[in-house]
Amino acid sequence: MKNLASILGLATLATSVIAAPLTFDFKDPKGVNNAVFKLDAPLEAIQGSANGISGTVTFDPASPATTQGKITVATKTLQVPNPLMKEHLDGAQWMDVAKFPEIVFELKRLSNVTTSGDTTTADVTGALTVKGVTKEVTTKATATYLKDKLSARSNGQMQGDLLVLRTNFTIKRSDYGINPGAPQDKVADTIDLSLSIAGFSKRP
């Protein structure tokens, strides 16, 4: 009886370990993670990217709907092709990098969650803070859980799992006080955002 109890206890412990949520770190050591933005006005199109992405997401492969997390983009890493445009982008009228060093998305809830194979699709609702203004946004997103794939991505330097997040959504420049006086024929009010980032959960 004692042996049976011990076996059951070990089985319960093993099950809890297997089912435990995993925490994924999105500060990419390879520096590949990036966000892309585009403002497509009738007279001019502005396109750029940012690679200063960090944050953590807690994901349970057995229960994706319970996902929690926060993703941060360092505002100073926003890049555009034109040096003068970059100077304007960092300035007070646009992103005011000195005063607002981070863009933050904090997850609130998931809905309409479906999983097929390794990929979970959901409507993701969270609080997006840009230039000190916080607004609730909802976007369709996917999370692809890649068990034991960290070694392949890190050339064998680390062992563990990957979580790849992808989403596309739009925000209004005017909602966040980004160069509010700019004529919309030159600077579109709609900002298209695209995010494709990989987080890692290391194992010893």
We report the CATH number of the domain holding residue 53 as: 2.40.128.110
pLDDT at 188 over 70: yes
Q: For position 11, what pLDDT does the model report? A: 42
Distance in angstroms (rounded) separating the CA atoms of residues 195 and 178: 20
Residue 7 lies in a domain: no
Domain that holds residue 73: 21-203
Q: What angle do CA 71, 119, 106 make, to 5 degrees?
A: 20
The DSSP secondary-structure symbol of 158 reads -
Average pLDDT of the residues of the chain: 92
Model confidence band, residue 29 (pLDDT cutoffs 50, 70, 90): confident
Q: How far apart are CA 117 and CA 114, in angstroms?
A: 10
Q: Is residue 3 part of a domain?
A: no
Please tell me whether residue 33 adopts helix, strand or coil conformation. Answer: coil
55 pLDDT above the threshold of 90 = yes
Q: Where are the alpha helices (DSSP H) in 1-149?
A: 2-19, 83-90
| Domain presence at residue 13 | no
Number of domains the chain is built from: 1
> What predicted TM-score, i.e. pTM, was given to this entire model?
0.88
What confidence score (pLDDT) does residue 30 get?
Answer: 87
Residue 12 lies in a domain: no
Whether the per-residue pLDDT at 141 is higher than 50: the answer is yes
